[in-house]
Amino acid sequence: MEQIVMPNNQEKSRDIPKRDNVFRMFDRIAKRYDLLNRLLSFRQDVKWRKKLTQLLPNKENLSVLDLATGTGDILLSIADARNNFAEGVGLDMSGEMLKFAVSKTDTAKLSDKIRYIRSDAAYLPIEGNSFDAVTISFGIRNVVDVPQSLLEMYRVLSENGKVLILEFSLPKNRLVRVGYLFYFRYILPFIGGIISGDSYAYSYLNKTVETFPYGEQFCKIMEQAGFSDVQEHRLTFGIATIYEATILTK
């Protein structure tokens, strides 16, 4: 397989934060993470996760691996929305985020269906061909090794398996983009900093979003990892995108 090339805009800005040990930052903000997600996205995050659940395969006894699972919202939304959901595994590097995921899963009485693993998305402690779907929401931008994580997603998916990647992107419309960037660069880090007590985390957010490949550029990266026929679903003026691909044969 050809080598996966990340575009240069990863290196364009001197400002790009390092992803090494970024999970420690999530350990620090875990307590306020859900609240800030709802508040800063005006609850759009709930809508986006719901849209992702609708794109999952219809197959019976659906098994899902959710990478960079954080506080578990994707798996909990899937359990809520999909009758065919049978088993979920959530994986994350942040022990503190996982504590909230476990507690929310217990409260929802879903511990028999959903379990969590602390691990790196680039090195999955999971056998090949074992899941019907792999999801990752607002996580791919945070992992240290994007190409290796995509290759791992491909490896653990079974034939006819589907990958769904939800990530921030930038609006195409110039006017919307200007307004959005103002909010994203100045208002969001300010509010996020006050409520979480960690202003770095929310300036990290806008810096990573503005420098991470999206749209066609990201589809190409997925194709280099082996996924074919990658489709993008742009959400809310394009401020988030779901990338979808199915593995037909392996």
Query: Residue 167 phi/psi, 5° resolution?
Result: -150, 155
Least Cα distance to 53 among 30, 28, 83 occurs for: 83
Q: Residue 197: what are its φ and ψ, rounded to 5°?
A: 75, 10
Site for ligand SAM in 114-133 (CB under 6 A): 120-122
Q: How far is the CB of 229 from ligand SAM (least distance, A)?
A: 24
d(CA 111, CA 96): 18
Question: Which C-beta is closer to ligand SAM: that of 119 or that of 224?
Answer: 119
Secondary structure (H, E, C), 47-102? HHHHHHHHCCCCCCCEEEEEECCCCCHHHHHHHHHCCCEEEEEEEECCHHHHHHHH
Integer-rounded Cα Rg, in Å, for the chain is: 17
| Residue window 31-50: x/- pattern of binding to ligand SAM, with contact defined by CB under 6 A | ------x-------------
- Taking residues 49 to 88 in sequence order and writing x for each that binds ligand SAM by CB under 6 A, - otherwise, the string is -------------------xxx--xx--------------
The stretch near ligand SAM (CB under 6 A) out of 6-14, 91-99, 185-193, 240-248 is 91-99
Phi, psi (5° rounding) for residue 19? Answer: -90, -15
Query: Least distance from C-beta 249 to ligand SAM, angstroms?
Result: 28
Nearer to ligand SAM, 22 or 170 (CB): 22
Contact call for residue 202 and ligand SAM (CB under 6 A): no
DSSP states of 135-160: EEES-TTT-S-HHHHHHHHHHHEEEE
Q: Which of 4, 143, 225, 230 binds ligand SAM (CB under 6 A)?
A: 143
Residue 36 CB contacts under 8 Å (≥ 6 apart), including other chains = 29, 191, 192, 195, 196, 202
CB of 203 to ligand SAM, least distance (A): 14
**Shortest reach from residue 25's CB to ligand SAM, in Å:** 8
In the list 52, 92, 163, 184, the residue contacting ligand SAM (rule: CB under 6 A) is 92
Integer Cα distance of 88 and 113 in angstroms: 6
Considering beta carbons, is residue 4 or 216 the nearer one to ligand SAM?
Answer: 4
- Give the residue at shortest CB distance from ligand SAM: 70
Residue 201 binds ligand SAM, judged by CB under 6 A: no
Stretch that binds ligand SAM, among 52-60, 92-100, 108-116, 187-195 (CB under 6 A): 92-100
- ∠ CA 106-129-235, nearest 5°, is 65
What residue ranges bind ligand SAM (CB under 6 A)? Answer: 22-23, 26, 37, 68-70, 73-74, 92-94, 97, 120-122, 137-139, 142-144
